Structure 1
Amino acid sequence: MNTEQLKRIRTGEGFIAALDQSGGSTPKALLQYGVQETSYSDDEEMYALVHEMRTRIIQSSAFDSRHILGAILFENTMDRSIDGQLTADYLWEKKGIVPFLKVDQGLAGLEDGVQLMKPIPGLNDLLERAAQRNIFGTKMRSLIKEANPAGIKKVVEQQFVIGKQIARMGLVPIIEPEVDINSADKAESERILKNEILAQLSTLDPDIQIMLKLSIPTEDNFYSDLMEDPHVVRIVALSGGYSQMEANERLAQNHGLIASFSRALSEGLTAGQTDDAFNRMLSKSIQEIYAASIK
């Protein structure tokens, strides 16, 4: 583990950019960017276009280490290059931004009010490749739609089992049990979720370090006690479907919680913009997300 990167993620001011749409969510990300599905005929062309979009974001002067601590990639992006360097190396060496990798394979069907992660075949091989490519940590997402104690327990147990596997490979796992922002019993789901996370943290070996990526809580500063746990490097928040403005307003009410936004980060960016217009829009978004993250 890179100790300089660890210190930056633990204590730095800023937020984590989520550039990790994959598989099923890539067409939606491209559509938001103004690229129609008729612009590509197969997955290879689609991934080439999304890499162009991400390269444009990463290379922008607005995308800098003064505001951004880390960036989450997905496997296809990790395997591609920017200016002749693998993406993770470009991020760290040229930008001073810590690279993470999304490792989950999407969500299973709804059961007990939650969606667990699908199995992740070949995870150790992927983690070994990630370590070779200088990836610092990983991210994996589950989804909680109802305050079902049995379902939420399964989500957290699955996340921590795989999280420990990732930590043993020398990477820092971001555990992401998202609570649906439209859930009718969101606050109760968050209460159950926090108790289950605390129970799992209490079982970890002293040297295991993790991060948490959580929905912005209904009750302000609800996750403050989790931030105090010695196993927890940092807690980041997802935008979860809120507009950028609303996500920022809610985030700013939670001291110590920093953003890890995806769709809300790229809001307003389009393929047809001039570089000046693109950079202005990205700079405005980054500065506003940063301001909400350091309050």
Structure 2
Amino acid sequence: MNNNHFDKIKNGKGFIAALDQSGGSTPKALAAYGIPEDAYSGEKEMFDLVHEMRTRIITSPAFSSDRILGAILFEQTMDREIEGKYTADYLADKGIVPFLKVDKGLADQENGVQLMKPINDLDDTLRRANERNIFGTKMRSVIHEPNKEGIKDVVDQQFDIGKRIISAGLVPIIEPEVDIHSDNKEKSEELLKEQILTHLDDLSEEENVMLKLTIPTKADLYKELIDHPRVVRVVALSGGYSREEANEKLKENHGLIASFSRALSSDLNADQSDEEFNQKLQHAVDTIYDASVNKK
């Protein structure tokens, strides 16, 4: 493990950028960027275009380590290069810590939740992540209802896989997202917190995790998780909120920092000049940073 990266993520001021749209969500990400599906043919062209988009973001002067602590990458992005360097190395040279999305998407809903699909090539992915100088990983489940059994299954699965990731020398980001549109979101969050605490208390002093959670309905609900000795950092997903709404909610939660995706890139467009693109990205970065470090 890179100790400098660990210290930056644990103690640094800023937020984590999520640039990890996968095959299923890439067409939506490109469409939001102004590239419709009829503008490309096949997966290769699609992934080439999304890498161009991510490269434009990462190489922008607005994407700097004085605001951004880390960036979460899609597997193909990890294996591609930016200006002659593998993406993680390019980020590290900018002072930004690289993470990798390792999940394979969501299973069908059952017991009010969606578990992760099996990650059959996890060991190989973790080996390659170490070769590419990745610091940590991210994997996502979704909670739709306050079903205690379903939420326990989500957290059990996340921590079971998380321990395998820790054993590989990486820091897992545990992401049990609570759907912002779900009925009784607050109850789901209370049950989720209870289950996470049980697992955190069972970790050894050598086992550390990060958490990526939906911004809670009740402000500071996750303060106990943020302060737990086994937690490196707790970050928040935007979850479908607009950037303005996500930022306002984030400001109410002390110690919680952003890890936004759509809320970071929502104003960016392929047709923008570099000047306009960089200005739009700088504004997004500045407002998300402010919400992460300055609290009400």
TM-score by length of 2: 0.99
CA offset digits 1:37-64 (Å, max 9, x no partner): 0111111110000000000000000000
Identity between Structure 1 and Structure 2 (%): 63
Q: 2:216 maps to which residue?
A: 217
SS of 1:146's partner is coil
The aligned residue for residue 286 of structure 1 is 285
Number of equivalent positions = 294
Taking the aligned partners of 1:136 and 1:39, their CA distance within structure 2 comes to 35
- Could you give the per-residue CA deviations for residues 199-218 of structure 1, whole angstroms, max 9, x where no partner exists? 11111122001000000000
Q: Which residue of 1 aligns with 2:274?
A: 275
Counterpart residue number, 2:9: 9
1:197 corresponds to: 196
Q: Kindly state the Cα deviation for residue 125 of structure 1 after the two structures are TM-superposed.
A: 0.5
Aligned to 1:70: 70
> Displacement, 1:161?
0.1
Deviation at 1:188, TM superposition (A): 0.2
CA distance in 1, matches of 2:126, 2:204: 20
Question: Which amino acid in the other structure matches residue 255 of structure 2?
Answer: G
Q: Quote the Cα distance in structure 2 between the aligned partners of 1:247 and 1:263.
A: 11
Superposed CA deviations along residues 8-65 of structure 1, whole A, max 9, x for unmatched, are 0000000000000001100000000000101111111100000000000000000000
Calculate the aligned-residue CA RMSD, in Å: 0.5
User: What's 2:54 paired with?
Assistant: 54
1:92 aligned partner, one-letter code: A
Q: Which amino acid aligns with 2:216?
A: P
Regions of 4+ moved over 6 Å: none
151-160 or 196-205: which moved more?
196-205
What is the CA–CA distance in structure 2 between the aligned matches of 1:78 and 1:91, rounded to whole Å? 11
Counterpart residue number, 2:85: 85
- AA aligned to 1:134 is N
Structure 2 counterpart of 1:165, one-letter code: R
1:250 aligns with 2:259: no
Give the secondary-structure state (helix, strand or coil) at the position aligned to 1:202: helix
Q: Residue 206 of structure 1 aligns with which residue? A: 205
Provide the TM-score with structure 1 as the length reference.
0.99
What are the equivalent positions in structure 2 for 1:113-124 lying under 5 Å apart? 113-124=112-123
Partner of 1:157: 156
Structure 1 residue 187 displacement after superposition: 0.3
Report Cα offsets for 1:194-249 as digits up to 9, x if no partner.
Answer: 00000111111220010000000000011001111111000000000000000000
SS at match of 1:235: strand
For residue 69 of structure 1, report the CA deviation from its aligned partner: 0.0
**Structure 2 unaligned regions, length at least 5:** none
CA shift, 1:122, in A, is 1.0
The answer to whether 1:22 aligns with 2:22 is yes
